[in-house]
Structure 1
Amino acid sequence: MTQIGIMIEGQNGLNWQNWQQILRTAEDSGYQCVFRSDHFTNPNGPHMDALELWTSLTYAASHTERIEFGPLVTPVTFRHPSMNVKYASAISDLSGGRLILGMGIGWQIREHESYGIDFPDVNERYERLEDALNMTKLLFESEEPIDYEGKHYHLKEAMLLPRPIQGGPPILIGGNGPKRTLPMAAKYADEWNAVFIDPETYKDRTERLNDLLEKEGRQPGDVKRSLMTRVFYGKDDAALQALIKNTGKTAEEIAASGLIVGTADAVVDQIGKWAELGIERFMLQWMEIDDMASLEDMAAKVLPTYHK
């Protein structure tokens, strides 16, 4: 079954009031999941409300019963990997196993400078992510204390207690890079998330991932395929045109880049075409975080097609 959820940019005005409304709406309306970015501020312009990731996901774990949720994605630069493991394990258990642990290298310079966080070059960030992935797997899976010596992080007689339910949450790796991201997904991930990608590029990347999985001794079905892309949804043509007028593009031009845009019928059609390419889960980027009426309308008109 095609899974359809939403993705929220946590740095763009997210506070407790709208986070609570988003979770309640997603849970009640039938969305499969809610993912959110892990940022401390936006990349430019005035600072806006930005709920801290793990605090907000603890609330999600204890105030929802059905939806899956998680970071899309948490940068390796923000917190020591061993602490991310402890946070993720605890929140996953609190939720009954509904957390998906999305991990990445980070990219935004401003938030690192603003909050005094080291921002090494991209090569080092990838090295740190590989260390973090190794440590995460070891801590989730080992029943005994472990030692680990990586390029940038180490563990000495470390053990994750209490032991996580079901061996810890699934690991998601997001990004489209064929040289570094996809090999990491093939080696470590339970889910690969393509990001703002067009259909032709996606077909190339998913085939590359299948080849890499074979080299790792894994099967294509071992890694779930998901897509994070912007959705422009209008309950009618007038609402849609009001939403896209500032883009300077037509709905057709927006859709050609891989974004999802339209009223209900068009959104259903576009999701269906992506699903035919192998996308199993959609994280639809919902920028209108105070517009729950449209989010409910999309659920009522789009989700029944995929929940038959």
Structure 2
Amino acid sequence: MDFRIFTEPQQGASYADQLAVAQAAEQLGFDAFFRSDHFLAMGGDGLPGPTDSWVTLGAIARETSTIRLGTLVSSATFRWPGLLAIQVAQVDEMSGGRVELGLGTGWFEAEHTAYGIPFPTKRFGPFTEQLEIVTGLWSTPVGETFSYDGEHYRLADAPALPKPVQQPLPIIIGGGGPRRTPALAARFASEFNVGFSSVDKAGQGFERVRQACEEIGRNPDSIVMSLAHTTAVGRDEAEYRRRAEASGRDAAELREQGLGGTVAEVVDKLGRYREAGAQRIYFQVLDLSDLDHLELLAREVVPQL
């Protein structure tokens, strides 16, 4: 298994806060720093206010050297595919080829309303076309143009530049849909992610993607299966409860539904996720001021797995 740090900056984090977490994660040996792509807090005041994910990751790319960077996940509802392809390719160049794109259908209608962004009633069709456009732009040979005539998007003679450093640049698709999401993951993704799921549900999701890969003749072992979960770990019960409270979560609920508890408890639960097929873990940390939490995860949890 490999381990990544996943943050929710819309809940209240400056660029400086995020940079500190990314640099600490790099120094501690985590594989990646990821962030959500939202513009509205989900509870609380969200001070000092939202930061754009790709602007932030571009800046962090210039202040780090080895850690991978990406989104869980950018929303197809407010990211136009042609512009997104340019943004991600540019940050990939700025990082020396360390970027991964998590892309999803979008779901948070309130943030669209708050910022005047249309929220479509049907989102899966545009999402599919976005994947086709982004990958099509990136894979078009230099010197050739890319055109696309879809139901939701039309591109005419796009120069399909710039190109990412990575070919192909990793794409992450997640979700719990029983049919269409696994099919898209098999077609486009280098990684399939299940978020905030039980051990059984995660295993079922992984198996559906493996089956979808087999149906199109893709080797199921060529796609990484990953899990994201809210995380609060303590050396003892008191420290765990302090971290759960600082994350805005009920300690008992987080212990049951997330990665919450003492080191031994969380290691045991992660072992069960590994048995269910998880190859990569995203520790969702909500208190970005607690860098000691990252060190505890790196020093006492990760080595046991």
Same fold (TM over 0.5): yes
Match of residue 32 from structure 2: 33
Following superposition, the deviation at residue 263 of structure 1 comes to: 2.2
Per-residue Cα deviation, 1:13-41 (whole angstroms, up to 9, x for no partner): 12022112101110111111111000011
Amino acid at match of 1:130: T
1:189 is displaced (CA, Å) by: 1.0
Q: Does 1:82 align with 2:57?
A: no
Q: Deviations over 1:141-192 (max 9, x none)?
A: 1112111111111111113223322324211112111133222112211110
Amino acid at match of 2:28: S
**8 Å contact 1:198–1:256 — kept in the other structure?**
no
d(CA) in 2 for partners of 1:98, 1:293: 25
Once residues 298 and 304 of structure 2 are traced to their aligned partners in structure 1, the CA distance between those partners, rounded to angstroms, is 10
Q: Which residue is equivalent to 2:195?
A: 195
What does residue 142 of structure 1 align with? 140
Contact 2:251 2:260 in 1 (8 A): no
Q: Deviation digits for residues 202-226 of structure 1, max 9, x if unmatched?
A: 2222111111111122111121111
Render the CA deviation track for 1:250-283: whole Å, top value 9, x for unaligned. Answer: 3xx64443x2122222222222221222211111
| C-alpha contact 2:12 2:45 (8 A) present in aligned 1 | no
Determine helix, strand or coil for the equivalent of 2:99: coil
Q: Secondary structure at the match of 2:39?
A: coil
RMSD: 1.7
The farther-off stretch of 199-208 and 111-120 is: 199-208
Deviation, 1:76, is 0.7
Q: 2:51 matched to which residue of 1?
A: 51
Decide whether the 8 Å contact of 1:70 with 1:102 is kept in 2: yes
User: Retained in 2: the 8 A contact 1:31–1:303?
Assistant: no
Q: Quote the residue 2:103 is aligned against.
A: 103
- Aligned residue number for residue 264 of structure 1: 263
Q: 1:254 to 1:79 in 2, by over 3 A?
A: closer
Q: Is the 8 A contact 1:43 1:109 kept in 2?
A: no
Determine the structure 2 residue equivalent to 1:291.
290
| Separation (CA, whole Å) in 2 of partners of 1:284 and 1:11 | 17
Q: Check if 1:131 corresponds to 2:123.
A: no
Alpha-carbon separation, structure 2, partners of 1:191 and 1:297:
27
In the other structure, the counterpart of 1:116 is 116
Q: How many percent of aligned residue pairs carry the same amino acid?
A: 33
Match of 1:215 in 2: 215
Q: Which residue of 2 aligns with 1:7?
A: 6
Contact 2:254-2:260 at 8 Å conserved across structures: yes
Distance 2:244 2:114 in 1: 32
Q: How far did 1:114 drift?
A: 1.1
Say which SS state the counterpart of residue 197 (structure 2) adopts: coil
Q: Which residue of 1 aligns with 2:159?
A: 159
Q: What is the CA-CA distance between 1:302 and the residue it aligns to?
A: 1.8
Counterparts of 1:70 and 1:210 in 2: how far apart (Å)?
24
Unaligned runs of 5+ in 2: none
Contact 1:43 1:110 in 2 (8 A): no
CA distance in 2, matches of 1:147, 1:211: 32
Residue 118 (structure 1) shift: 0.6
Q: CA deviation at 1:249?
A: 5.4
What is the distance in 2 between the residues matched to 1:8 and 1:276?
A: 25
Deviation at 1:113, TM superposition (A): 0.8
Instruction: Report the 3-state secondary structure (helix = DSSP H, G, I; strand = E; otherwise coil) of the residue aligned with 2:3.
Output: strand
* Mapped contact 2:17–2:289 kept (Cα < 8 A): yes
User: For the residues of structure 1 that align with 2:62 and 2:254, how far apart are their CA atoms?
Assistant: 37
- Measured after TM superposition, the shift of residue 53 of structure 1 is 0.6
Deviation (angstroms), 1:47: 4.1
